[in-house]
């Protein structure tokens, strides 16, 4: 972390601690002093001085920098403790350090979820998520502080719209809680601890269903700053929930959150054609790519060792929702103009976002294929005229979207 450059105090002891944690060799440190150092840095004020530990004051560095480095160190310590890396001495040191910190630090870090400093908020989310997972592994219990914080954020709309109407279901705190919940589920699934994943889903099942239904409503995004970012984070969560499908089935649980992507398909497609997402091409692209991955049963496979959590019945339900929206003309407003752009000078003249168009093509074609299977006989006929009138041509890498003149 330090390279060859000298570090000012107190980054030097934090840098030493960081390398000791990475090597799982902290024989030269004591748990009491380490906890004192981390607490002082994590609770530093704007002048870089902590008010909590008079014997461990830290100066000469701004508070956000101290907090970010300390959060990184603490997260690594918790991750290695959970994974069982290092010998007995390191485990004893890490356990004692965390036992001295956890009583008040978790609450302080949850407060940082709502920080205007995005880096500080992100690192706090990662650190709290690591602490939640460690507690799950140790006790089988979900952190009550974290659970209550997330429930309140996802159930209560934090900020009013600029115009009269319903409250806006987005905001930094909501986004941070969604990221934390997603991260907890991801790490648990990667470790193959499906029983723990089930416990988390049981805890948040009704809350997630209501929250996603509210957030993905077209009315919810009107006048909400950062709404596109919130939708993008929910897409990450929906994919992780797909991965949880098989995990929870193995435990005998039947939860609505497992099928949220299928239940929200119509809302997602309506959003793609909504003017609200016109200035958010990346979010629109992500929606279509996620639906495509779900239809080919590859959603969430990154966290379940290559196996999709979605079942054939789930995919058929999703395909049916896609075609019903298409038959109602709900996809006519999906913009495919404007190519993907990552800086530099944009080309002049009309262009096509090939990623969006290709994903939309595959979503429609795969949905029709699934609904025209023998087990779904009679369900495909109403959509053939629509498919014919919305032909998608692929020729020499040129993509053309053609609509009949009478459509």
Alpha-carbon Rg of the chain, whole angstroms? Answer: 24
CA distance 135 to 257: 23
The per-residue pLDDT for 108 is: 92
Give yes or no for a contact between 73 and 15, defined as CB atoms under 8 angstroms apart: no
Phi-psi region of 276 (alpha: psi -120 to 50; beta: other; left: phi over 0): alpha
Q: Do residues 149 and 176 touch, judged by C-beta distance below 8 A?
A: no
Spatial contact of 201 and 257, defined as CB atoms under 8 Å apart: yes
Q: What would the two tokens of residue 41 be?
A: 């840095």
Give the pLDDT of residue 388: 42
Local structure of 304: helix, strand or coil: coil
d(CA 320, CA 314): 10
- What pLDDT score does 60 carry? 43
pLDDT at 396: 34
Residue 337, strand partner residues: 352
Flag residues of the chain having pLDDT under 50: 2, 46-55, 57-60, 157-167, 342-346, 377-382, 384-407
The Cα-based distances of 278 to 231, 232, 284, 336, 366 in angstroms read 14, 14, 8, 10, 25
Whole-angstrom Cα distance, residue 246 to residue 381?
A: 32
Q: In Å, how far are 183, 216, 236, 246, 389 from 233, measured between CA atoms?
A: 11, 12, 5, 22, 34
Pairing of strands 159-160, 167-168: antiparallel
Q: What angle do CA 297, 399, 298 make, to 5 degrees?
A: 10
Compute the distance between CA of residue 192 and CA of residue 186 in angstroms, rounded to an integer: 10
3-state secondary structure of 231: helix
**Helices vs. strands in the chain: H and E counts, helices first:** 16, 4
- pLDDT at residue 127 in the model: 97
Residues for the chain: how many in total?
A: 407
Name which of 128, 256, 241 is nearest 186 in CA terms: 241
Report how far apart, in Å, the C-alpha atoms of 179 and of each of 70, 150, 174 are. 20, 10, 9
First-to-last CA distance in the chain?
Answer: 60
Cα separation, 394 vs 352, whole angstroms: 13
Residue 161: predicted pLDDT: 31
pTM assigned to the model:
0.82
Domain ranges of the chain: 1-109, 142-157+167-216+228-263, 264-339+352-407
Give the three-state DSSP class for 12: helix
What is the per-residue pLDDT for 49? 42
What is the per-residue pLDDT for 56?
54
């Amino acid at each position: 972390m330090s390279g060859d450059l000298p570090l000012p105090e107190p980054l030097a002891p934090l840098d030493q601690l960081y390398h000791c944690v990475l090597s799982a060799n902290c024989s030269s440190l004591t748990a009491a002093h380490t906890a004192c150092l981390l607490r002082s840095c994590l609770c530093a004020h704007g002048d870089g001085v902590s008010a909590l530990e008079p014997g461990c004051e830290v100066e000469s560095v701004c508070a956000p920098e101290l907090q970010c480095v300390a959060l990184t160190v603490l997260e690594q310590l918790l991750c290695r403790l959970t994974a069982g890396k290092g010998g007995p001495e390191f485990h004893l040191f890490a356990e004692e350090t965390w036992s001295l910190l956890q009583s008040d630090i978790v609450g302080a870090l949850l407060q940082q979820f709502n920080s205007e400093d995005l880096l500080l908020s992100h690192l706090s989310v990662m650190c709290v998520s690591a602490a939640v997972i460690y507690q799950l592994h140790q006790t089988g219990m979900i952190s009550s502080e974290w659970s209550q914080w997330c429930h309140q954020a996802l159930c209560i709309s934090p900020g009013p719209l600029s115009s009269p109407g319903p409250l806006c279901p987005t905001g930094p705190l909501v986004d941070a809680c969604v990221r934390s919940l997603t991260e907890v589920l991801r790490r648990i699934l990667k470790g193959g601890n499906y029983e723990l994943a089930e416990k988390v889903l049981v805890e948040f099942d009704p809350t997630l269903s209501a929250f996603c239904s509210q957030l993905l409503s077209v009315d919810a995004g009107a006048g909400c700053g950062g709404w596109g970012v919130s939708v993008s984070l929910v897409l990450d969560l929906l994919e992780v929930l797909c991965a949880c499908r098989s995990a929870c089935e193995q435990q005998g649980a039947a939860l609505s959150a497992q099928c949220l992507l299928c239940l929200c398909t119509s809302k997602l497609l309506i959003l793609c054609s909504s003017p609200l997402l016109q200035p958010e091409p990346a979010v629109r692209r992500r929606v279509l790519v996620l639906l495509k991955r779900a239809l080919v049963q590859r959603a969430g496979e990154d966290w379940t060792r290559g196996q999709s959590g979605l079942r054939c019945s789930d995919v058929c339900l999703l395909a049916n929702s896609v075609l019903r929206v298409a038959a109602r003309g709900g996809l006519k407003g999906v913009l495919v103009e404007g190519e993907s752009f990552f800086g530099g000078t944009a080309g002049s003249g009309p262009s096509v976002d090939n990623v969006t168009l290709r994903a939309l093509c595959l979503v429609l074609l795969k949905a029709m294929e699934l609904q025209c299977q023998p087990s779904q006989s009679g369900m495909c006929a109403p959509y053939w005229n629509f498919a014919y009138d919305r032909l998608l041509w692929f020729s020499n890498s040129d993509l053309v979207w053609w609509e009949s003149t009478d459509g």
